[in-house]
Chains A and B, each alone.
Chain A
């Protein structure tokens, strides 16, 4: 199971569940988190369902470059971190 965690800064605004998911892609993994807290979607994705400009996602310590499709593969045991980017904001 992949594990998805969100920056603690988000807890000021909405619940940030830690999600264990069998999803095979980043987008499906995020959807699993949004299913737990639908409000979370608007904090992570923009109108066009792209990753917000000032957020960044790491999968197993590697920064995701594709911010649009979010179709990066998740392996069983992957650790996903959704963080605020230090640029911007």
Chain B
């Protein structure tokens, strides 16, 4: 769907509709509450919204009427923590990602959990196999005090295949429905680590990982210190060093049909998380990363300090409509693959996620 989008913010869930006059706010849910992630309506019309109530914890709500009404459903819960367990407390900090694969729904959480629901979000089971990987003890937080699963990339045709991105725990994949997992970050490089650990796949910080629907063996990631691409289903990753201005950022989107086309929203660097020269841009490649265009039309080109988080950039199934939202509450849309943008709002709360659907 290209005429509806969902914007999860620090103070509510905004349903956006595109009409003759462009995009506008059609409905607001959970006004005033932090919405950390939204799953747009699936084939069954079910949608989910994850809240992160400051005092009262993480909550999950479901809607069967396109966000018109909501019911609270069971929140993913970690099992009882053994006294000798290493690492962060087994307490749910946030639902960072939601994804559907057929009738199955997945939730990626901090600290580092992957939960599965086979009843449309009514109940959840922790993937024990990934949770008990010995390597999990090495993961650490990126942007939060604890590690978390922010990217869930189901395989579009292989029902038992799933890939997750973890800050900071690299990339992991299962091909047997979650019974076994392997680390899949070979080729990435962590500039923030001691040199002897820089190429350790288990401590990489892929800020966001996306998979091409039409060519699922092609994946892109915006990593903490650069951009990487894989053309062999994450068996290996190659660094892309041609992005103009900066290769630092959080968001990445890949064209659903064209694996060589991807979009990035650069910031200066990890120690200065603002647009380069106060100008918001989108870097787009259409040749698999050999070259990029820097797209600026319609975006603020001076005095702009908007940062787009890892879930703040979305591409519609047609590959032409895009939307991105910033931590400063700016929301922009494009209907020509990013060539030009229109301002939807400069007045929204800080934006955590944008999803079409």
Contact = CB atoms under 8 A, between A and B. Distances in A.
B59 A46 contact: no
A84 B80 contact: no
Contacts of A10: 56
A50 B92 CA distance: 12
A46 B81 contact: no
A46 B59 CA distance: 11
Contact of A52 (B57, B75, B77, B78): B57
Interface in A32-51: 39, 42-44, 46-48, 50
A88 B245 CA distance: 38
Nearest to A42: B75
Interface in B83-125: 89-92
A14 B73 CA distance: 12
Interface string A78-89: 000000110011
Interface string B44-64: 000000000111110100000
B72 interface: yes
A52 B89 contact: no
B262 to A, nearest CB: 37
Given A46-B92, A48-B80, A13 B53 contact: yes
A10, A14, A42: residue with the most chain B Cβ atoms closer than 10 Å: A42
A43 B80 contact: no
B327 to A, nearest CB: 20
A55 interface: yes
A8 interface: no
Nearest to A52: B57
A58 to B, nearest CB: 15
A54 B75 CA distance: 18
Interface residues of B, number: 16
Contacts of B78: 47-48
A88 B78 CA distance: 23
Contacts of A84: 55-56
B72 A54 contact: no
B57 A46 contact: yes
B54, B56, B72, B92: residue with the most chain A Cβ atoms closer than 10 Å: B56
A43 B92 CA distance: 12
Contacts of A44: 56
A88 B54 contact: yes
Contact of A48 (B54, B75, B89): B89
A48 B91 CA distance: 7
A9 interface: yes
A14 B57 CA distance: 13
Nearest to A46: B91
A54 B54 contact: yes
A9 B90 contact: no
Contact of B72 (A39, A46, A88, A89): A39
19 contacts: A13-B56, A13-B59, A42-B59, A42-B75, A43-B57, A44-B56, A46-B92, A47-B81, A47-B90, A47-B91, A48-B78, A48-B81, A48-B89, A48-B90, A52-B55, A52-B56, A54-B54, A54-B55, A89-B55
Q: Which 6 A-B residue pairs are closest in the complex by CB-CB distance?
A: A89-B54, A84-B55, A43-B56, A54-B55, A47-B78, A89-B55
Given A50-B91, A84-B56, 9 more contacts: A9-B55, A13-B53, A43-B53, A43-B57, A48-B78, A52-B55, A84-B55, A89-B54, A89-B55
